[in-house]
Amino acid sequence: MEAMTSLPLMTLMQLLFDTLLGFALLWLGWRALASPDLFQAIVLFIAFGLLMAIVWVRLDAPDVALAEAAIGAGLTGALLLTTLARLEAKNRSKSALEKKHKVWLMTENVKLKTASFLWLMVILMLLVSGLVYAVLTLQEQTFELQMLVSKNLESSGVSNPVTAVLLNFRGYDTLLEMSVLLLALLGVWSFGGIPKPHESLPGPVLNMLSRLLIPLLIIVAGYFLWVGSDAPGGAFQGGSVLGAAGVLLLLVGWRLCIRFVGLPLRIILVFGLGVFVSAAVVLIFLGRQFMEYPPSVAGALILLIEAAATLSIGITLAALFLVGRPEFRRHK
Amino acid sequence: MNTLYLYTIVGVGLFTLGLYALLIHSDLLRKILAINIMGSGVFLILVALAARTQGAVPDPVPHAMVITGIVVAVSATALALALVIRVRTKVGHANLPEQSLE
Amino acid sequence: MLSFLLPQRVKLLGLLIAAGVVAAVAALGWQVAELGAQRYAIGGWGAPLGIDLYADGLSLLMLMVNAVVCLGVSVYSTGYFNRAYFRRSRAIYFWPLWMFLWAALNALFLSSDIFNLYVTLELLGLSAVALVALAGGADALTSAMRYLLINLLGSLFYLLGVALLYHRFGSLDITILSQHIEPSPAVWVAMGLMTSGLLLKTALFPMHFWLPAAHASAPAPVSALLSALVVKASFYIFLRLWLEIFPVDSSVFGELLGVLGAIAIFWGGVQALRQTRLKMLIAYSTVAQLGYLFLAFPMASYFAWKGALFILLSHALAKTAMFMAAGNILHFGGHDRIQDFDHVVQYQPLTSAAFALAGISIMGLPPSGGFIGKWLLLEAAINSGQWWLVIIIIMGGLLAAAYIFKVIGYAFTQSRKSHQTRRVPIRMEWTALILAIAAILLGLIAPWPLAIMDIGLPFSGEAAG
């Protein structure tokens, strides 16, 4: 009986919350794109990412929320900021010729002709109405696929359905996705060395903080990895937290010993993918399909693959933060 | 109809907003921001629709898809940002020259 | 057939993998030819839950041409990236990036899962962008940047379409979707989104603006790949979706695609004729040739599809040969300004022969592969009484002839300026020539690929129509 009376109120509250959150999201997105100052825009973008994470929680997607907070807001934000810092540093060092371009960088709008602007608006309006119409005509339904996931969950070796889908049912996607990540790093490295690492000594606060935080982050990464099989978490979340630890390390000026930059670093980077592929291939020789994990050992296998993946993802993300290849210095 | 559709519409809004910004800005960093926001819009639509059946556990497949999508997005962003820096060093400014559609 | 990438960045390893993949494709080819279309469930889960790989005649042909072109490019690159002035620090990245690109292509042609296709598309796009940027100049970097943004934009449109389809039908597998599909607003919007995203990547007029710069400023083997295969990859996905998933009774839409294709043929042809740089000319020629692929949509008949596919195959071979030839000429004389060609025929007879032979296929003269493709298209156009298409196909051929003879003409003459010249490794010349010969041979052995197309034929149902 109590539920009957409290239900409308709850729904109303919920509706209010949803509306507020939705509008806040749109507003932040718009501000991030329209703010005249790039630095401000990036900070707004990070805030936008954090808000997204809250939305994911609201939508019962805690795994996504973790990934968004760590990767979407955290690492993307860090990458954007460090890029901006590099661009600005160059801006300052260059003189009169660059002044004009600096104006370009800061004030961005290309002046569109009114006619083409109107056209653009019409097209965008069509897009919005089409999409909204399409979305609203979708009925509420539960699909066979979703039942299949829950039915096969037991034989997948893990109890978190998202992890099961990621690492087992649709593991091939994840394999390719890790390739994308590695590829991005390769691409970044192929552009050449780090453009003038302008070292600034970290302040004492950052130094202190990082000493506390880095071990903590590493432990958190391990925790995510471990609980990933039956609670929100997993290789990507763990990996990105590890990546964050790496970024922090790089921020306080810590650099890998030259000895490790060459082959050992590359081996760690491909380690995750390597374990993933070899596990899949070995199974072929054991008379199974590519990536068909036997249910009895699936849990252990997935944990192994995830552990390797976490390490590689973390290091790859941290390496991406450098925005360039660490210089190899060969003493021969 | 339930309130989760609201998020879907917000997703549509973000997608369009990002597209608009992508088209009108010439600064590369902003274009990359815009692409990221478009992506968030798509992810939001995916997940919000996954939760649209009331009372049921949300469908985990779109969640996995979005996690994949987020990682792909950060990879692409990293590559794009590194490229921006290179373009900046070589060309002297970080925006694309006007492109004629003809 | 996935990427077995290890940190060794050795040419030998690259070639070994290349040979291995070719062997694997050959084995798969035998299997498909003997046993019909193959389906492989990764992880043993089966379609709705897991991801299936699927190989029929269409994907097999794509894989085969992919293997031939990629093998050619691998051999060519051993020469190209050996050059003294190509900095080693850059060149070592060519091989891993290249292997990723190849793996992405293979994965793409085999996948039957629309989300998996999205991931392969991204893999393909990012590796292609990194390869374009390898050239390192201001032009290359700017066009790589634009190419990247275009790619990401196209992928997002595609992904949004995937999202709608998934939430309408609860599956990501193409075959399952094709069984359940029925017209509804969500399907129409998804179709529009995926089509625009993919066509943007395929560079159909008027969305071709990014292509010439990106294709022309990349290193020669990369240009060859981009023109020959990468644009075809998104076309392949589009074709699959169109044939298997989207409601077939969308004839207005097909007409529109046909008209755009026709404009592309003209526009690309005229622009190619106007170019003064060889690589730009070849890149615009790609825009025109892509137009032919879309002529099949308004006809949507058995012959039309086969014709378009045949053009796709022969163009892949011929265009690779052309870009390689251009790379040789560029390397030899240090420039690719068409007017300043200096006795190219005399100094590089093999390269010139490669260019001419590839040109024959592009123009569509018998007995080349391009001829068969155009012939099939013509036949389909006459059968369906669409005379405007007949005129366009013939005009397109004439335009192609004009721009190719323009190049060949200058290749014979002497230039007023003299240039420093450099030796070109002989294998770079031979690879170009062999691929050009393959494009011609494709016309002579036409019945064979045409028979392969029939295996698990996605368009057999429309043979009557």
Q: What are residue B27's phi and psi, to 5 degrees?
A: -75, 130
Chain A positions in Cβ-Cβ contact with residue B30 (cut-off 8 Å): 33, 38, 41, 108
Assigned domain for A130 exists:
no
Q: Does residue A197 surpass a pLDDT of 80?
A: no
| Residue C251 CB coordination number (10 Å) | 11
- The C-alpha atoms of residue C253 and residue A226 are separated, in whole angstroms, by 51
Rounded to an integer, what is the distance from CA A15 to the centroid of its chain? 29
Q: A111 and A186: one domain?
A: no
Q: How many contiguous H segments (helices) and E segments (strands) does chain C have? A: 19, 2
Q: How far is B33 from chain C (nearest CA, A)?
A: 11
* pLDDT tens digits, A82-132: 888 878 765 544 433 333 343 333 333 445 566 777 777 788 888 888 777
| Count of domains forming chain A | 2
Q: C386 and C315: one domain?
A: yes
- Write out the residues of chain B at the interface with chain C, using a CB-CB cutoff of 8 A: 15, 19, 22, 28, 31, 35, 38-39, 42, 45-46, 49-50, 52, 61-62, 65, 68-69, 72, 75-76, 79-80, 83-84, 86-87, 90-91, 96-97, 99-101
Q: How far is A282 from chain B (nearest CA, A)?
A: 25
| Count of domains forming chain C | 2
Give C144 or A236, the one with higher predicted confidence. C144
Q: C277 and C168: one domain?
A: no
Residue in A184, A267, A277 nearest the CB of C2: A277
* pLDDT tens digits, C36-65: 556 665 655 666 667 777 777 777 788 888
Mean pLDDT of A253-281: 66
Q: Between chains, do B83 and C152 touch, taking CB under 8 Å as contact?
A: no
A167: nearest CA partner in chain B = B64
Mean pLDDT of C117-129: 91
Q: A303 and A213: one domain?
A: yes
Q: A118 and A163: one domain?
A: no
Query: Which of A81, A105, A124 is a domain's end point?
Result: A124
Query: Which of A106, A124, A142 is a domain's end point?
Result: A124
Q: Does residue B39 surpass a pLDDT of 90?
A: yes
Domain span holding position A290: 157-332
Mean pLDDT of C397-410: 89
Q: C257 and C204: one domain?
A: no
- Which pLDDT score is estimated for C67? 80
Q: C99 and C213: one domain?
A: yes
C125: nearest CA partner in chain A = A180
- Which pLDDT score is estimated for A96? 36
Say if residues C213 and C287 touch (Cβ distance below 8 Å): no
> Which domains are present in chain B?
4-91 (1.10.287.3510)
* pLDDT tens digits, A269-322: 777 777 777 777 777 677 666 666 777 777 777 788 888 888 888 878 877 777
Q: Between chains, do B12 and A128 touch, taking CB under 8 Å as contact?
A: yes
Residue in A131, A134, A145 nearest the CB of C48: A145
Top-confidence range, C28-42, C67-81, C374-388: C374-388
* pLDDT tens digits, C178-211: 877 777 778 888 888 888 899 988 888 778 888 8
Mean pLDDT of C362-375: 86
Query: Which of A109, A124, A139 is a domain's end point?
Result: A124
Q: C154 and C169: one domain?
A: yes
**What's C225-248 look like in SS3?**
HHHHHHHHHHHHHHHHHHHHHCCC
Assigned domain for A152 exists:
no
Q: A45 and A183: one domain?
A: no
Percent of chain B whose predicted confidence (pLDDT) is above 70: 80
Q: Which residues pair with C41 in a beta bridge?
A: C52
Q: Which of C101, C334, C139 is nearest to C217 (CA)?
A: C139
Q: A249 and A319: one domain?
A: yes
Q: A228 and A298: one domain?
A: yes
Assigned domain for A323 exists:
yes
Q: List all residues 6 or more positions away from A12 whose beta carbon is below 8 Å from its beta carbon.
A: none
Q: C211 and C288: one domain?
A: no
Q: A175 and A105: one domain?
A: no
Q: A173 and A256: one domain?
A: yes
Query: Which of C177, C212, C247 is a domain's end point?
Result: C247
Top-confidence range, A36-45, A136-145, A228-237: A36-45
Percent of chain A whose predicted confidence (pLDDT) is above 70: 73
Mean pLDDT of C285-296: 90
Q: Between chains, do C119 and A177 touch, taking CB under 8 Å as contact?
A: yes
Q: Does residue C1 surpass a pLDDT of 70?
A: no
Assigned domain for A140 exists:
no
Task: Identify the band that residue C459 occupies on the pLDDT scale cut at 50, 70 and 90.
Answer: low
* pLDDT tens digits, C163-186: 888 888 878 888 788 877 777 778
| Residue A74 CB coordination number (10 Å) | 22
Surface of A (240-299) touching C: CB under 8 A: 263, 266-267, 269-270, 273-274, 277, 288-293
Q: C274 and C306: one domain?
A: yes
Q: What is the mean pLDDT of chain A?
A: 73
Q: List all residues 6 or more positions away from C179 whose beta carbon is below 8 Å from its beta carbon.
A: none
- Which pLDDT score is estimated for A37? 82
Say if residues C10 and C78 touch (Cβ distance below 8 Å): no
Is A108 touching B (CB cutoff 8 A)?
Answer: yes
Assigned domain for A151 exists:
no
Range of weakest confidence among A55-59, A79-83, C2-6, C320-324: C2-6
Q: C397 and C448: one domain?
A: yes
Q: A185 and A293: one domain?
A: yes
Say if residues A52 and A73 touch (Cβ distance below 8 Å): yes
Task: Identify the band that residue C24 occupies on the pLDDT scale cut at 50, 70 and 90.
Answer: low
Helix intervals (H) in C203-301: 211-217, 220-225, 231-240, 251-274, 278-299
Q: C291 and C219: one domain?
A: no
Q: C234 and C347: one domain?
A: no
- Which pLDDT score is estimated for C6? 34
Assigned domain for A2 exists:
no
- Which pLDDT score is estimated for C152? 93
Range of weakest confidence among C76-85, C156-165, C287-296, C425-434: C76-85
Residue in C49, C100, C160 nearest the CB of A152: C49
Q: A265 and A212: one domain?
A: yes
Task: Identify the band that residue C87 occupies on the pLDDT scale cut at 50, 70 and 90.
Answer: low
- The C-alpha atoms of residue A223 and residue B48 are separated, in whole angstroms, by 28
* pLDDT tens digits, C96-115: 788 788 888 888 888 888 89
- Which pLDDT score is estimated for A101? 40
Q: C132 and C189: one domain?
A: yes
Which residue out of B30, B44, B79, B91 would a mutagenesis test of the C interface target, given it has the greatest number of C Cβ atoms within 10 Å? B79
Give C130 or B93, the one with higher predicted confidence. C130
Task: Identify the band that residue B36 occupies on the pLDDT scale cut at 50, 70 and 90.
Answer: very high
Give A106 or C372, the one with higher predicted confidence. C372
Assigned domain for A209 exists:
yes
Q: A67 and A177: one domain?
A: no
Domain span holding position C451: 250-465
Structure tokens at C272: 């190619």
- Which pLDDT score is estimated for C160? 92
Q: A282 and A234: one domain?
A: yes
Residue in A59, A110, A192 nearest the CB of B51: A59
Q: How far is B87 from chain A (nearest CA, A)?
A: 10
Q: C364 and C383: one domain?
A: yes
Judged by DSSP in three states, C158 sits in helix
Assigned domain for A135 exists:
no
